[in-house]
Chains A and B, each alone.
Chain A
């Protein structure tokens, strides 16, 4: 069954058209990640789904119901904010139980759900603390706990990890993935970080300038990007782009090759000058340029390459992507 259906959703703030004809379907139990650069409208889209903003036009359907006119608290959603947004005057227990109290749930249900959520998130020892007495990671778990206790149809996460440091981010990411399989709930997760998108998602929705660029599973998008934007956005290091002329091909096309698809080859078509080498042990990243084009290659194993060196890179033509002037994929 579908958990969420957006049909031709538009949103304008005055004259600024932020969301443009968004059509998305999310299945029940699916982990969907909305990814795109900052300012592309991800948070706005999430707020429209949550009911915190009204869509200017279009239809929002959660489960079977069209919810355009339903207030946020009645939509069966729960949201985790980037800034945690815990109630500063309530302790952890009350932060988590407030929504249930508003729903007039019986006391024992509230208690049981808070206990369940705090066990899942290892918050049992902190229930009587106030948000100001918690670390960033703990606050984030409380924010997640506040969402869990509601047993929502859809979880909404707005860049939940961006305020955490790198180590904590990785742990929390794994924890969120664990929660998803444990709760088997539909989740929508917004991020500008393609690594989070690739690692968490069942389905990625790539957004740019308020438009859906492509929808698909991480590997579908990685192996089969519909356009140059998606190709360049997913994958790290990012895909290399250079005009076809650089490798002696005709046509006004741009060629894209992923860094890991480049290999050292004496007869390779791409001659580059090395700028910098990152030796990671298992991998060697070569940052180089061919004319004005920056080229990054990710070579397996250890290589003795120094800055200033001239190299020839070759690639399998079947693993190269071709894009026209407008950035559309040419097959």
Chain B
């Protein structure tokens, strides 16, 4: 065992630092949460006070529920995020496996080409993407968003996953081949479970930007029935008047699904790390 870890002073300092960081990170979320339960006046008078009998109000949540199809927005955001993550992970892992496992001409170039996407923001191509979506009749559909987010997430996913897959023991894959497993079985049953921590990392990295994105929903899918949560919440932010109760309530509710997804992935992350105990 590492000596620095067993020293109680070091342990205390380490936990102190972590707790401090947690507090700093959680503070804005906490402020949003408490203010979403207060009247408009109370929000502005004492933004940091807890809601009490006087200032407590659910008006924000009521507005959100009444306004538009909030649950539909939720559902749209959820579908887009989960589907995009699914495709990013599936195609990213497949491409990474091919790049790390098979020797073929142009392997290096292909890897570089895929990695290039990390440096070039996809928004540069917005106009072309819009034209393509119009041509294929995909505007105002969730598919438009899913496809764009999948494309956006793939470069980093391929980059990270191929690094991790290179570290999966060749002997293990070869043992599978000798035992008669197909390349698909080797990929899904042997390799994927061993790179689960990397998959979770990729998922977490991609999840937040997709969930919070306003740009592509606004351009590619602005119509009522395919609005995402972020876009839907914009109705409360006006040029002159902003319904802060509603905005804060909508934001508070928007945190929950991401939180749930995060918990799922971080559990995978930990399980992946401990299941890799086999040499």
Contact = CB atoms under 8 A, between A and B. Distances in A.
B181 interface: yes
A79 B278 contact: no
B178 interface: yes
A81 B194 CA distance: 19
Contact of A81 (B171, B181, B277, B278): B171
B117 interface: no
Nearest to B177: A72
Interface residues of A, number: 29
A227 B252 CA distance: 80
A83 B169 contact: yes
A85 B277 contact: no
Interface string B166-203: 00010110111111110000000110011000000000
Contacts of B194: 88
Contacts of A87: 172, 175-176, 190
B279 interface: yes
Q: How big is the B interface, by class? A: 20 to 34
Nearest to B169: A83
User: Which of B177, B179, B193, B275 has the most chain A CB atoms closer than 10 A to its own CB?
Assistant: B179
Contacts of A47: 174
B178 A52 contact: yes
A77 B278 contact: no
Contacts of B175: 79, 81, 85-87, 146
A74 B178 CA distance: 8
A88 B278 contact: yes
Contact of B179 (A73, A83, A131): A73
A79 B174 contact: yes
A89 B186 CA distance: 12
Contacts of B190: 87
A47 B181 CA distance: 17
Contacts of A176: none
Contact of B178 (A72, A84, A131, A132): A72
Contacts of A84: 171, 279
B183 to A, nearest CB: 11
A81 B174 contact: yes
B189 A79 contact: no
A19 B181 CA distance: 28
A274 to B, nearest CB: 44
A98 B179 contact: yes
A162 to B, nearest CB: 13
Interface of B: 169, 171-172, 174-181, 189-190, 193-194, 275-279
23 contacts: A50-B174, A52-B174, A52-B177, A72-B174, A78-B178, A79-B178, A81-B174, A83-B169, A83-B172, A85-B171, A85-B172, A86-B175, A86-B278, A87-B172, A87-B175, A88-B193, A88-B277, A89-B189, A102-B180, A132-B277, A146-B175, A146-B179, A163-B279
